[in-house]
């Protein structure tokens, strides 16, 4: 698309340049060979020779202005040369003919020259502004793309480095917007110092920078300096008592042409390397490698499987029972998505959900699961003589959208599913991604009686002070915390503390991934309310889950 635009522009410039050159030749020819007395007869109209030269000159000037408007860089240069040529011709004409007849043409040419220089300057200013980030004065995303295109055009090797401040939002929220801006400026200054003229520094997002570095730039030095400069506190002003903050920064690099050949792929790979750095450790700088390349291939495969499943409806749902820890009464079911492609292939949600979450496919999946689960289960859940709950997993991308609550309400109305029997399982990331919208959606749904469970608790980074504010009904302790409680006293204490805290928040607590009776006994001792795990039931096929509900009703 971009290339199409560029080649169209080039074609237009070339055509206009040719027209202008032809026009100049005509101006020369008409000035040289048409005398004042001669004229050109077109039908009944007779054009005097000097008027024809004037008309051709004017057309040439219009052509010059047009080519400058299309491309001020090449256009200005060409136009200046052509107009100066006309000026020389006019001066030559004056000297040769000892007449001032060409003088108006000369003034006209000079006027157009000035006009073209003004247009060109204005374009340069606007162009510069559209490429610049207004906070730091660095190139913005567009500037980066132009820089990459230019570099790729010269085929000279370079490195693209993506750099991100992970906790920028927190710094901005805690210290204020002004301090956030100061931090961005400070970091841009430091990055410019660190690159020492070996490349271009751009600010491509809210807290993200991209550096296009010459191939002989020493990345290891950059890594070391990153630690030195950002490993501790960073002063936000140079007053006697400066304000400090502790930014968490990460970087990922990719090389042209070894790793990728076009700007879109380079950016994608640099982002991927950055993502790996963010998972590694504070101040990590990680380079794109073979393993990441094969991860991308796997991700692409996953993406096409998800698309295939959505198009062909190769999804089905399983339902894993949840039980009361103490009397083993059925609490409800968690809905779990499964795939079965016509060729017998099946992929795990643990593999395809994270990929779908990187695209908008997850929105379609979540809507699909919600609709299908509520439709499949409505009659049996309603008919069951005790309150059983149907849990549906919802990803952060879905619950952070402004239409999410309305979508759920529509599905509830369409299927007639009792709102108070529906539970949505979300993770801490939902609050990290788009906190306000998520809370608004949750509040709207809770008013109808919908329950909210916090899934995978213990794997995220929510602080206790943030956690107590979250509007949830159920805390789901992640399997990774439960796994070691039989052998590790620390794990036991930790799970104990989580259960205690959940109760303080007036939430019920469920442990997931419970596999042994000993784990059940330990969790019971610690006052955990519910259990979900292979120890009592694996995820059940729809028919088995329905049979369980029917059996329960008949008991």
User: Which residues neighbour 312 within 8 Å (Cβ) at sequence distance 6 or greater?
Assistant: 341, 342
Q: Which is closer to ligand C2E, CB of 123 or CB of 314?
A: 314
Q: Which is closer to ligand C2E, CB of 210 or CB of 392?
A: 392
Name the minimum Å distance from CB 377 to ligand C2E: 13
Name the minimum Å distance from CB 537 to ligand C2E: 8
- Over the window 135 to 154, marking each residue x when it contacts Mg ion by CB under 5 A and - when it does not, the resulting string is --------------------
Cα dihedral sign, 62-66-69-71:
negative
User: Which residues neighbour 85 within 8 Å (Cβ) at sequence distance 6 or greater?
Assistant: 24
Name the minimum Å distance from CB 425 to Mg ion: 4
Residues binding Mg ion: what is the number (CB under 5 A)? 4
Name the minimum Å distance from CB 449 to ligand C2E: 21
Q: What gap in Å lies between CA 468 and CA 432, rounded to an integer?
A: 15
Q: Which is closer to Mg ion, CB of 251 or CB of 528?
A: 528
Alpha carbon of residue 145 to chain centroid: 15
Name the minimum Å distance from CB 479 to Mg ion: 7
Q: What is the DSSP string of 43-109?
A: TTEEEEHHHHHHHHHHHHHHHHHHHHHH-HHHHHHHHHHHHHHHHHHHHHHHHHHT-STTHHHHHHH
Name the minimum Å distance from CB 348 to ligand C2E: 5
Helix H or strand E segment including 321: strand 315-324
User: Which residues neighbour 313 within 8 Å (Cβ) at sequence distance 6 or greater?
Assistant: none
Looking up tokens 């490698």, which residue turns up?
289
Q: Which of 90, 423, 425, 529 binds Mg ion (CB under 5 A)?
A: 425
Q: Which of residues 453-472 bind Mg ion (CB under 5 A)?
A: 455-456
Q: What gap in Å lies between CA 26 and CA 56, rounded to an integer?
A: 7
Q: Which is closer to ligand C2E, CB of 186 or CB of 425?
A: 425
CA angle 425, 401, 462 (to 5 degrees): 50
Name the minimum Å distance from CB 476 to Mg ion: 6
Q: Which of residues 353-412 bind Mg ion (CB under 5 A)?
A: 393
Instruction: Give me the residues that bind ligand C2E (CB under 6 A), please.
Output: 320, 335-337, 348-350, 353, 366, 369, 393-395, 425, 455-456, 479, 512-515, 532-534, 539
User: Considering CB distances under 5 to 8 angstroms, the limit depending on partner class, which of ligand C2E, Mg ion, none binds residue 513?
Assistant: ligand C2E
Q: Which is closer to ligand C2E, CB of 259 or CB of 425?
A: 425
**Of 18-26, 247-255, 417-425, 491-499, which part binds Mg ion (CB under 5 A)?**
417-425
- What does DSSP say about strands 45-48 and 244-245: parallel, antiparallel, or unpaired? unpaired
**Residue 365, phi then psi, degrees to nearest 5:** -65, -50
Binding region for Mg ion (CB under 5 A): 393, 425, 455-456
């Amino acid at each position: 698309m971009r290339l199409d635009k560029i080649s169209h522009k080039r074609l237009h410039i070339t055509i206009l340049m040719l027209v202008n050159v032809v026009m100049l030749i005509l101006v020369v020819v008409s000035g040289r060979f048409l005398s004042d007395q001669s004229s050109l007869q077109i039908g009944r109209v007779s054009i005097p020779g000097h008027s024809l030269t004037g008309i051709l000159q004017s057309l040439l000037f219009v052509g010059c202005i047009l080519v400058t408007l299309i491309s001020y860089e090449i256009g200005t240069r060409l136009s200046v040369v052509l107009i100066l040529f006309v000026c020389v011709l006019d001066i030559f004409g004056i000297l040769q003919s000892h007449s001032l007849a060409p003088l108006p043409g000369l003034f006209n040419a000079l006027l157009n020259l000035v006009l073209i220089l003004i247009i060109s300057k204005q374009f340069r200013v606007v162009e510069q502004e559209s490429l610049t980030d207004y906070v730091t004065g660095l190139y913005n995303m567009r500037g980066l793309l132009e820089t990459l295109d230019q570099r790729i055009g010269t085929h000279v090797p370079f490195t693209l480095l993506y750099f991100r401040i992970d906790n920028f939002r927190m710094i901005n929220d805690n210290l204020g917007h002004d301090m956030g801006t100061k931090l961005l400026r400070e970091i841009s200054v430091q990055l410019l110092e660190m690159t020492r003229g070996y490349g271009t520094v751009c600010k491509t997002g809210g807290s993200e920078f991209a550096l296009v570095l010459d191939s002989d730039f020493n990345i290891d030095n950059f890594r070391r300096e990153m630690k030195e400069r950002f490993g501790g506190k960073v002063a936000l002003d140079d007053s006697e008592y400066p304000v400090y903050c502790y930014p968490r920064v990460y970087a990922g690099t990719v090389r042209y042409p070894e790793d990728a050949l076009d700007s879109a792929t380079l950016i994608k790979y640099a982002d991927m390397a950055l993502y790996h750095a963010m998972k590694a450790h504070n101040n990590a700088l990680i380079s794109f490698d073979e393993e990441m390349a094969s991860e991308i291939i796997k991700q692409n495969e996953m993406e096409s499987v998800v698309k295939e499943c959505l198009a062909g409806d190769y999804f089905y749902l399983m339902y894993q029972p949840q039980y009361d820890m103490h009397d083993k009464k059925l609490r409800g079911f968690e809905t779990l998505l499964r795939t079965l492609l016509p060729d017998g292939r099946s992929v795990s949600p643990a593999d395809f959900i994270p990929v779908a979450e990187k695209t908008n496919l997850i929105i379609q999946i979540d809507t699909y699961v919600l609709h299908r689960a509520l439709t499949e289960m409505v009659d049996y859940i309603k008919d069951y003589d005790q309150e059983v709950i149907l849990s549906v997993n919802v990803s952060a991308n879905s619950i952070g959208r402004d239409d999410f609550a309305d979508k759920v309400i529509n599905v509830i109305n369409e299927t007639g599913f009792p709102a108070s029997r529906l539970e949505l399982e979300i993770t801490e990331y939902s609050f990290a991604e788009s906190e306000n919208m998520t809370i608004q959606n949750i509040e709207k749904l809770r008013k109808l009686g919908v329950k909210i469970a916090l899934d995978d608790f213990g794997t995220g980074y929510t602080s206790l002070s943030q956690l107590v504010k979250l509007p949830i009904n159920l805390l789901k302790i992640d399997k990774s915390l439960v796994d070691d409680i039989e052998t590790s006293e620390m794990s036991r204490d930790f799970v104990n503390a989580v259960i205690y805290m959940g109760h303080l928040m007036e939430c019920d607590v469920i442990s997931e991934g419970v596999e042994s009776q000993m784990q059940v006994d330990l969790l019971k001792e610690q006052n955990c309310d519910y259990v979900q795990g292979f120890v009592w039931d694996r995820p059940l096929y729809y028919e088995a889950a329905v049979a369980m509900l029917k059996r329960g009703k008949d008991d």
